[in-house]
């Protein structure tokens, strides 16, 4: 088991961030294979052919994507902690990727081969300038296959952050990290288990951890690391698969409290702000505010201030009402 150890200061400064680079890297892994997640089927069908054509025309790209999709060691020159918080841009993340030397790239890829569950060789690693070629592939994947879908994905990622920030404010980090992945868990008072493999423990610096959701993977995590002690844990966002199979509230609940309020109460299975509810349900902000006031007065929902935002969640009564079966 591998642990991330945090002192009190590091824990207090840990926060969430977004990473277009991580989203792009996950998208490359998914597009490089046949689709196995039904909720990604339409996006995969739209982009898989063009992506495969690019790989087939470039042995370097083909070999890299195949390796990334079948290893427990992602190269450290590609998995780098984002530095822009919730406003991180791909351009800023690609700067350190492009700076890696050929020697560093080869050493990391050899580690990836050693930790792969498939047979690989690095015969495709020819010529020079491998970091620049990797950067070009990431930039292409973002522009052609991720950026057109980014507004929807970003909304989903922000929703996950809102959900976990609400848990953090109400219950602390152990609850906020609960179910982040199958292998990640809080251990004792000062450590996070992030996988079951026997790698050395890491000590997080005083600036704290970053937690980075991505939408394109339904399982698995990876660790981003930058010297001397900067770390980010990439994890699957909640609701990625759920959106494809969204169930409307029971008609009996709609008859009881009204269609709009029933939709909001149903949606608050995952805590959200009023702006997120309005965007997700296609309602005006004023309408959502009116519904939330009534639901709050009925003790069905409660709001918790997180920074400048108010995050709404169901109360126990609201959860019981929303969970009732009906026709």
For the segment 156-197, what is each residue's pLDDT rounded down to a tens digit? 898 888 888 877 877 788 778 877 777 777 887 788 887 777
pLDDT greater at residue 55 or residue 255 = 55
The residue to which tokens 């079966």 are assigned: 325
pLDDT at residue 241 tops 70:
no
We find that the CATH architecture of domain 247-322 is Orthogonal Bundle (1.10)
Please state whether the peptide bond connecting residue 66 to the residue before it is cis, i.e. omega within 30 degrees of 0.
no
What token pair was written down for 230?
């900067």
Strand, coil or helix: what is 61?
helix
pLDDT at residue 244 tops 50:
no
What token pair was written down for 86?
């919730």
pLDDT at residue 270 tops 50:
yes
Mean pLDDT within 79-93: 96
Rounded CA-CA distance 162/245 in Å is 21
Please state whether the peptide bond connecting residue 228 to the residue before it is cis, i.e. omega within 30 degrees of 0.
yes
Contact between 124 and 60 under an 8 Å Cβ cutoff? The reply is yes
Under DSSP, the state recorded for 23 is: H
Strand, coil or helix: what is 319?
helix
pLDDT at position 210: 95
Strand, coil or helix: what is 185?
strand
Contact partners, residue 79, CB within 8 Å, separation at least 6: 22, 25, 222, 223, 224, 225, 234
pLDDT at residue 246 tops 50:
no
What confidence tier does 250 reach under pLDDT thresholds 50, 70, 90?
low
Average pLDDT of the chain, as a whole number: 88
pLDDT at position 248: 55
pTM recorded for the entire structure: 0.77
φ, ψ (nearest 5 deg) of residue 184: -85, 140
pLDDT greater at residue 134 or residue 183 = 134
pLDDT at residue 129 tops 80:
yes
Q: How many residues does the chain have?
A: 327
Residue 103: how many CB atoms within 10 A of its CB?
A: 9
pLDDT at residue 249 tops 80:
no
φ, ψ (nearest 5 deg) of residue 203: -110, 115
Closest CA to 223 of 240, 245, 254, 199: 199
What confidence tier does 107 reach under pLDDT thresholds 50, 70, 90?
very high
Flag the least confident range among 29-43, 163-177, 222-236: 163-177
pLDDT at position 208: 92
Contact between 74 and 138 under an 8 Å Cβ cutoff? The reply is no
Mean pLDDT within 97-107: 97
pLDDT at position 105: 97
For 23, 131, 161, the CA distances from 158, given in Å and listed in that order, are: 13, 30, 5
pLDDT at residue 243 tops 80:
no
pLDDT at residue 212 tops 60:
yes
Strand, coil or helix: what is 283?
coil
CATH 1.10.10.10 in the chain, residue ranges: 247-322
């Amino acid at each position: 088991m591998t642990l991330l150890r945090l002192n009190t200061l590091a824990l207090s400064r840990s926060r969430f961030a977004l990473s277009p680079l991580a989203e792009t890297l996950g998208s490359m892994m998914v597009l490089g294979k046949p689709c196995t997640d039904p909720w990604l089927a339409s996006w995969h069908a739209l982009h898989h052919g063009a992506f495969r054509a690019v790989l087939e025309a470039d042995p370097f790209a083909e070999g890299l994507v195949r390796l990334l999709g079948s290893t427990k060691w992602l190269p450290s020159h590609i998995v780098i902690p984002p530095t822009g918080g919730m406003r991180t841009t791909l351009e800023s993340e690609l700067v350190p990727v492009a700076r890696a030397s050929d020697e560093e790239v080869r050493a990391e890829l050899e580690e990836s081969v050693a930790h792969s569950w498939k047979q690989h060789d690095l015969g495709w690693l020819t010529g020079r300038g491998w970091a620049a070629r990797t950067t070009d592939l990431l930039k292409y994947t973002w522009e052609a296959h991720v950026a057109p879908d980014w507004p929807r994905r970003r909304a989903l990622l922000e929703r996950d952050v809102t959900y976990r920030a609400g848990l953090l404010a109400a219950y602390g980090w152990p609850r906020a990290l609960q179910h982040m992945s199958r292998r990640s868990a809080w251990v004792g008072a000062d450590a996070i288990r992030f996988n079951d493999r026997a790698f050395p423990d890491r000590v997080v610096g005083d600036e704290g951890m970053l937690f980075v959701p991505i939408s394109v993977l339904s399982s698995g995590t990876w660790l981003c690391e930058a010297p001397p002690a900067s770390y980010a844990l990439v994890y699957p966002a909640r609701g990625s698969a759920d959106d494809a199979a969204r169930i409307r509230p029971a008609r009996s609940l709609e008859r009881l409290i009204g269609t709009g309020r029933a939709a909001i109460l149903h949606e608050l299975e995952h805590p959200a702000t009023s702006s997120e509810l309005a965007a997700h349900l296609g309602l005006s902000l004023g309408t959502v505010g009116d519904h939330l006031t009534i639901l709050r007065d009925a003790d069905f929902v409660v709001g918790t201030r997180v920074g400048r935002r108010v995050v709404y969640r169901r109360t126990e009564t609201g959860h019981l009402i929303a969970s009732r079966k009906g026709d």
